Amino acid sequence: MRLTKLGHACVRIEQNGRTLVLDPGVFTEPEALDGADAVLVTHEHFDHFQEDRLREAAAASPGLEFWTNGAVAESLTGLGAGRVHVVEHGDAFTAAGFSVQVYGEWHAVVHPDLPQVGNIGFLVDGEVFHPGDALTVPDRPVRTLLLPVHAPWSRTAEVVDYTRAVGADRAYALHDALLSPIGLAGVERFVSTLVKDTAYTRLAPGEAVTLG
């Protein structure tokens, strides 16, 4: 399994000639969807979901399918029967040959005065967990955690505690486009110092690793 970090909250997962893309938003490189067989979207916020880009990708690739929550699916109406699939916590499905389990229901609270939107996380092939914008802990072991390290809704201390709670073998930084190099280094130092059992790494956009 090959994992490529793309802009901010997006990754590409490739295996056996099939490509799965998770959360391509406005901070994601335009080529993120090239050759994709399936797209998973955790929630409706612009840094995870860009409707126009997904519609363009769907038009360019008639076999491309999407799995997401109800709010995002509603925004993608009109793409054709059987292309957009609504999933929720507890569901399991196969996308582009990958087995996927769904965890979580709600986006983390940004502020009490702002409406809370839905959010689902995806566990891919029992290997990689993308939580979206929530600190959801799956009910089974996870080897690779895609860790949201910075957001208006989180503190670095919570990022540490979440990493400990999931207990993955390794964590790759995600949700980091708003951090400066100094901030990125600070998060890495903080997490690496306080989390002993999970190896923390930040991949640069476009950088890939092989998992297995």
Band (pLDDT 50/70/90 cuts) for residue 91 is very high
Q: In what order do the strands lie in the sheet with 92-95?
A: 92-95, 98-103, 121-124, 128-130, 144-148, 170-174, 199-201
Q: What is the pLDDT of residue 195?
A: 97
CATH 3.60.15.10 fits 2-205, yes or no: yes
Half-sphere exposure (Cβ direction) of 120: Cα atoms closer than 13 Å: 24
CA distances (Å), origin 29, targets 24, 91, 206 = 8, 29, 9
Contact 5, 204 (CB under 8 A): yes
- Where exactly are the structural domains of the chain? 2-205
Higher pLDDT, 81 or 151: 151
The tokens for 89 are 């916590």
Band (pLDDT 50/70/90 cuts) for residue 115 is very high
pLDDT at 212 over 90: no
Handedness of CA 117, 148, 7, 59 (dihedral sign): negative
